[in-house]
Amino acid sequence: MTESVSLKYETNVAVGIDAGNLSMNHIIQVRELSKSFNGTTRAVDGISFEVYEGEIFGFLGPNGAGKTTTISMLTTLLRPTSGSATICGFDILKEPNEVRKRIGVVPQEYTADEDLTGYENIMFCADLYGIPRRISRERAAELLQLVELESAKDRKVETYSGGMRRRLELACGLINHPQVLFLDEPTLGLDVQTRAAVWQYIRRLKDEYGMTLFLTTHYLEEADSLCDRIAIIDHGKIVRIGSPKELKDSLGGDIIELGIQENDKEEDPTLLILGVEHVKEVKRVGPAEYRIKSELGEVTAPMIIHRLISNGYHVSKISLMRPTLDQVYLELTGKSIREENGDQTQFRRQRATLRRARS
């Protein structure tokens, strides 16, 4: 450990990262990272962000937005066209092997060997990291227990269900006790129950081991319920970054819809409502129907009703809508259906993954 730590410091000095960024809790630092394919298509276009140690960081975006390209660069599989990134203080281009030792990768595909047993697959992964047998046997047993595959460990992987395969991939990704675990679409093609189980493992890794998790997904509810922070990426650029709450708040708060029977004076109640604290916007959307945008809707709504009643209005109905990540997402990435970006390999892999998940 001492050796790697001293290395770490040398790296930081050599790369010339300024003191402000040296803060140890930035476990991943990405600076202006870009990747072009065939010189033209910019799959990732100058993105910059940090991931804090111990958080679950989600990369959210439509198909072909650049999620997998980014994860491939961070896991040293793809060379960036320009820009840089460090993981645990190591540069992904200059010291890829130091990065590889410290990360775990759970790819989108099922990469386990079908002809081998679950246990053999885990041991294979351990050998790739050069972990001595004495230790890897112990770890394999622990991890099989963690992902609840102990009873199936001596069965060939071809007999596994999609969920079991995903769990096996997870165990393989953890065999080197990584500091950062990358998960590419961890629940693609899984049914609701299995998806919930995978979420549970992911949360446990964070809570019990303080592991940093970087995951990509296009399931909004997954990002919302799992991630501490989310980056929404589209057309190779990060369009918004923040906690799920911050993102939702960025929409301007809750929507309160009121049915108001106007009083005898036939005064427009808009000004009256605008006077209530937290109310941001009032719109008359129909006869006796008003849509109010407000923060803290559950507190504000009773206050509005109270004020209306005490001014002689009669409130006939109310509905309160919290903003969802879906709304944020659609607002930021647009509603048009995406043309597939012609990435055949990606498509083929996803199809293969789905097929095996359902087998």
Could you list the residues that contact another protein (CB under 8 A)? 1-5, 8-9, 24, 53-54, 72, 75-79, 97, 100-103, 105, 107-111, 113, 115-116, 120, 124-125, 127-132, 135, 138-139, 142, 145-146, 172, 176-177, 179, 200, 204, 208-211, 345, 348-349, 352
Q: Min. distance of Cβ 77 from another protein in angstroms? A: 5
Q: Which single residue is written with the structure tokens 């992987």? A: 157
With respect to another protein, which residue has the nearer C-beta, 117 or 294?
117
Q: Min. distance of Cβ 179 from another protein in angstroms? A: 4
Q: Report the alpha-carbon angle 191-70-213, nearest 5.
A: 55
Q: Min. distance of Cβ 216 from another protein in angstroms? A: 14
Q: Min. distance of Cβ 107 from another protein in angstroms? A: 5
Tell which residue, 213, 219, 155, has the closest CA to residue 187: 219
Q: Min. distance of Cβ 75 from another protein in angstroms? A: 5
Q: Min. distance of Cβ 243 from another protein in angstroms? A: 20
Phi-psi region of 145 (alpha: psi -120 to 50; beta: other; left: phi over 0): alpha
Backbone φ, ψ for residue 14 (5° rounding):
-60, -40
Q: Which single residue is written with the structure tokens 């097929």? A: 355
With respect to another protein, which residue has the nearer C-beta, 71 or 304?
71
With respect to another protein, which residue has the nearer C-beta, 27 or 232?
27
Q: Min. distance of Cβ 324 from another protein in angstroms? A: 29
With respect to another protein, which residue has the nearer C-beta, 218 or 349?
349
The 8 Å CB, 24+ separation contacts for 283-292 are 285/257, 288/259, 288/260, 288/261, 288/262, 288/316, 289/257, 289/258, 289/259, 289/260, 290/257, 290/258, 290/260, 291/255, 291/256, 291/257, 292/255, 292/256, 292/257, 292/258
Nearest-angstrom CA–CA distance, 88 and 8? 8
Buried b (16+ CB within 10 A) or exposed e, 135-148: ebeebbeebbebbe
Tell which residue, 327, 347, 328, 329, has the closest CA to residue 64: 347
With respect to another protein, which residue has the nearer C-beta, 179 or 187?
179
With respect to another protein, which residue has the nearer C-beta, 7 or 320?
7
Nearest-angstrom CA–CA distance, 291 and 285? 6
In angstroms, what CA-CA distances link 148 with 113, 142, 157, 164? 19, 10, 15, 9
Q: Min. distance of Cβ 195 from another protein in angstroms? A: 16
With respect to another protein, which residue has the nearer C-beta, 108 or 333?
108
User: For residues 29 and 50, is the Cβ–Cβ distance under 8 A?
Assistant: yes
Nearest-angstrom CA–CA distance, 162 and 168? 10
Nearest-angstrom CA–CA distance, 225 and 222? 5
Q: Min. distance of Cβ 267 from another protein in angstroms? A: 60
With respect to another protein, which residue has the nearer C-beta, 39 or 287?
39
With respect to another protein, which residue has the nearer C-beta, 54 or 259?
54
